[in-house]
Amino acid sequence: MEIALVIGFVGLLVFLAHLFSALFERTRVPDVLPLVVLGLLIGPVLKLITPEAFGKVGPVFTTISLIIILFQSGLGLNLATLRESLLPGIRLTVLNFIGTMLVVAAVAALGLRMSALEGMMLGAIIGGTSSAVVIPLVGRLPLRIESRAILLLESTFSDVLCIVTTLAFVQAVRYHELRPTLMLGQIIASFLVAAIIGALAALFWSAVLQRVRQLENSMFLTPAFVFIIFGVAEVLGYSGAIAALAFGIILGNIQSLSLSALREFLRGRAVQLNPAEESFFSEIVFLLKTFFFVYIGLSIRLTDVVLFAVGVGIVVVLFLIRIPVVWGSVGKMVRGFDAAVAAVMIPKGLAAAVLASLPLQVGMERGAIIQDIVYAVILLSILGTALLTFLIEKHILRQPYAYFFPAAEGGGSLPAHPQESGEG
């Protein structure tokens, strides 16, 4: 009987996801919002399902969702757009991460009497943005393609910063020594080597893809190969997320690459994904996104009202400092409606949820407190991002953000219709 109910619920969830998507098209209320709330209801509120019920399958599922979402995003990213957006994306990533870490450390020290190390660790854990939340959200908004690319790159790059920096703080707790130069070297290596792994894998796959298609039931072999690339990069100690993104970017642009040595290597065998394969991946992303957001909602732990209130305060502060961060890092390139959206795009997700347990595991005195605050911040940042994005698109928050982010000259403030802000 329980199995029948679970299967029935899965089917109902898919139908609800399509309903929420249709409501988004009509009302512009992000479909992320009802999915997270649904997970929140069946999880911590009603306690019908707990994350422990999924065992090890839960984290594996969320990681698979992230890989496929990043891969598909890379397929749609033009190399010319990437060249324009790379440096602004890096600036936004670094400035937002450092600003978040310092401000959260100050809040933790003043409000919770945490040590500098504990506060910096908390800031590092929540210093990034979630690819699995950002990509579906910005993909449905009428943003310029360069603005989408900047936010995509930030969400991918910041995961690496969060993971490496938090692990460095864990090592500092264990061995009473913080090594910034080693941390910086690990970050650079994780970016560069992972990107090379993904790019080389894409060149190989594009050369054999035509033969792969001759195999029976071969549609899923491409995402399976992406899983392999992710696994190889992670086992070697580099970022599997960056490798998956690089794989998608090169595979999506393989026929526009003009290097003579590359053309000689591929000898005309390079092919891109066909429309049927791209449509198949879109369906996969839709399903994975649906279950991912419900899983995030039911994974939230609401155990302490005081700590939840602290999480509220931290999220409010993060939304406030995001305005000068966006203005200072990409203000010249991203304007008007796009900049306003970028200024509220701070959702936390998978990386923060995984890292939240590390302070407790290494025996930090405030480890449990850090974990509860992080879970509250994940929930509130996702809900806040979805709600503020909706309010900006509906122009209910037009004036406050138009003051900080006027449109380009001749364009007024925020556009009367979002479609005027750019492509999409």
Contacts of 145 (CB under 8 A, 6+ apart): 78, 81, 422, 423, 424
For position 409, what pLDDT does the model report?
56
What predicted TM-score, i.e. pTM, was given to this entire model?
A: 0.81
Residue with tokens 């590390």: 358
**Residue 276, exposed/middle/buried by CB under 10 A (0-12, 13-18, 19+)?**
exposed
Residue 5: its pLDDT value, please? 76
Identity at 235, one-letter amino acid code:
V
Domains in the chain with CATH codes: 2-421 (1.20.1530.20)
Q: Each residue of 191-211: pLDDT tens digit? A: 899 999 999 999 889 888 888
Q: Which helix (H) or strand (E) holds 176?
A: none
Give residue 410's pLDDT.
45
Q: What is the pLDDT of residue 423?
A: 39
pLDDT tens-place string over residues 287-311: 888 888 888 888 777 778 888 999 9
Q: Answer for the pair 356, 371: CB distance below 8 angstroms, yes or no.
A: yes
pLDDT for 171: 78
pLDDT at 269: 58
Helix (H, G, I), strand (E, B) or coil at 273: coil
Cβ-count burial 172-211 (b if 16+ within 10 Å, e if not): bbeeeeeeeeebeebbeebbebbbebbbebbbebbbebee
User: How far is it, in rounded angstroms, from Cα 340 to Cα 352?
Assistant: 24
pLDDT at residue number 424: 34
Q: Which residues of 234-267 are buried (b: 16+ CB within 10 A; e: fewer)?
A: eeeebbbbbbbbbbbbbbbbbeeeeeeeeeeebe
Per-residue pLDDT tens, the chain, 424 aa: give them: 577 877 888 888 888 888 888 877 777 677 778 888 888 888 888 888 877 777 667 778 878 888 888 898 888 888 888 889 999 999 999 999 999 999 999 999 888 888 888 899 999 999 999 888 898 888 888 899 999 999 999 999 998 889 888 888 887 777 666 777 777 888 888 889 999 999 999 988 988 888 888 887 778 889 899 999 999 999 998 889 899 999 999 888 887 765 544 555 555 555 677 788 888 888 888 888 888 888 888 877 777 888 899 999 999 999 999 999 999 999 888 889 999 999 999 999 878 888 888 888 778 888 889 988 998 999 899 999 989 998 998 888 877 888 888 876 544 444 444 444 343 3
Dihedral angle of Cα 104, 52, 56, 223, to the nearest 10 degrees: -70
DSSP string, 192-252: HHHHHHHHHHHHHHHHHHHHHTTSTT-TTHHHHHHHHHHHHHHHTTS-HHHHHHHHHHHHH
CA distance 245 to 230: 10
* 279 C-beta neighbours (distance < 10 Å), count: 11
Q: Are 347 and 381 in contact (CB under 8 A)?
A: yes
